[in-house]
Structure 1
Amino acid sequence: MTAPLRRWLTPVVAALAALTILVGPAPANAAPSTPTPSGHEEDDEPKLLGDVIEARNRAYSKAKANLAKSRKRQLELEMQVQRAQAELDALEPQVTQIAAQSYRTGRVGAIAMLLDSNTPDSFVKRAAALDELNMINAARLTEVTAIKKRAEQAKMALDAEVRKQQKLTNDMARQKREAEKDLALVGGQGFTGGLVSATSPVARIAPGRTADGDWRPESCSENDPTTSGCITPRTLHMYKEVKRAGFNRFVGCYRPGGPWEHPKGRACDWSLQRSGFRPWYNNDTRMYGNNLAAFLLRNADRLGIYYVIWNRQIWFPATGWKSYSGPSNHTDHVHVSLL
């Protein structure tokens, strides 16, 4: 192998080795588990939206950094391919000359030209030199072509790596937007403190929904499990679904008197306590209220929810969260009214 070719080959081999390290098997820790405040892994406890958003932001930054590295390596290998092409271009005149001579004279003609040698020794030397020149150039051409092919294959692999990293970056951006959207749905970072589960169970669809998505009016025809009053079938369905989702602290639904939904059997107050009502005062009670409100909001279309009030905020499906001030600031319970 010639010295110039050896100098060219060394960085190509290094680049290919780097490619092997870069591509490798698909990383198994694309979405690493994040320790929760208690020290357990996410698999052991529900993920919080605040933690999810932080993890998504970290993953998005990492994906963008990997994309930049892939593009840099791609550029380096493109330069290697260009150098390989330059080597081929440098050989082209020699190869063309030999090919033309072979075409014009054939091998016998080339030997015949050598018969002009003054002595037999001179003839043999010239013939050997001609054969050696052909073999050296053919070998060199084959070798450089092989190197060029490897460099092109490396570039194709890095193109695939760039596409993979771009997809990962796009996926991370989408997941980050979805997590931020989920947090906005349940009131945002300031409202929840991030203390809200990243997911909620899916509620079963309430009775009384029409084909066009509307809800049929219902009377207060069912016994209220929380009082001696009555509630609508849709309110009873909501009550059962909230219980099924694991919210088993104190709750009261029917209440006589007043202009709102309680005396119509279309509302329930979900306390943060095992009995009675008391404003949230620690992460447990705040998170219970956040998660309960999040469950109701995420299933609003399935349960037929009219509005939710929690922690000085009121939520309507059409407007989202708004500041609320009324007879109660609703820091001690989550109120839900049904259509």
Structure 2
Amino acid sequence: MRRRDVAALSRSGRWRGAFRGLTASAAVLVLCAVPQAEGHAAPKPTAKQLRAELARLQKRSESMIAEYYTGRVALQKAEKAEKAAAGELRRAQTDFDQAAREVRTLAAQRYRTGIPGTLPVLMSAGDPADLLNQMALMQQIMEGRDARLNGFAQVKDTYQRTKASAEQRAKELRDSLRKLGEQKKRTLELIDTIKDRIDRLYPTPGTRRADGSWVPQLPSGPDNITPRMRLVRQLVAQRFSPHFGIGCYRVDGGIAGGGEHPLGRACDFMMSSGGSMPSAGNVKLGDEVAAWAIENKDRLGVKYVIWRQRINTGSGWRGMSNRGGVTANHYDHVHISVY
């Protein structure tokens, strides 16, 4: 294995730095996120303070994720170099075995003839000068074989030492990646905790009846949606940052059939440009938006969620009839309706 490949695996300082920094940030967030003991309650953080802490944590998380993937690339390169070195060793081993067989044959024949450096096929009753030339040639061949064997033995020893060192570096790197992956998971959980706390700083507009149901609201403002729908739109935008826009009020939507866009009680959170299927990453984002809306259904007054030709009113997903298109079947957007 090349020296630079082995050296690339030994840069563990950055990993330790990432762990120390992230641990410190996690400790701060735990103090913010976990309620204090009664009698020693810390002041509740404001939305501005929580967003500032969230921004710092997200920045650190992005840096850590970049380190994680950089480490994976380095590990893949090291494993590739180790595999190539193993192939070179196999080829060299073949040459070594061939050379060893030739030397053993020469040694056996030399032993049978009793004449050092000669073979029966070289023995003749010819000119003594020719015999001496043949003996010298044989000696040269033997010396070449010996040098070849000795040289390969050194190469093999060096390879074995390098391989052992590389395996140790690779193990250390894999351990670092595992720890970093665990730390990343904890950090993402803390990010969700902070986002939840930000969400809960905003009371849901409107009133509830004695039985817990929500009193319907009228749309208002230039966007023609209800205050309750406006809050849901704001929280989704802050928490998930959908890239393809949010559409809410529109004059069509089938009031007679129960459509709620014209009533200002529904928004579509786009996961692709209209009419096209979302990428795998945006399907995952849509799943997260839908799950969040359902989880917060009672608190935010969510009536139902439609996503990927399914509807959920709080009692599980049910399939819907085919309406004939990507948008009509809600494959490119998450639809959220409120009471």
Q: Do both share a fold (TM > 0.5)?
A: no
TM-score tier by shorter-chain length is 0.3 to 0.5
- TM-score, normalization by structure 2: 0.42
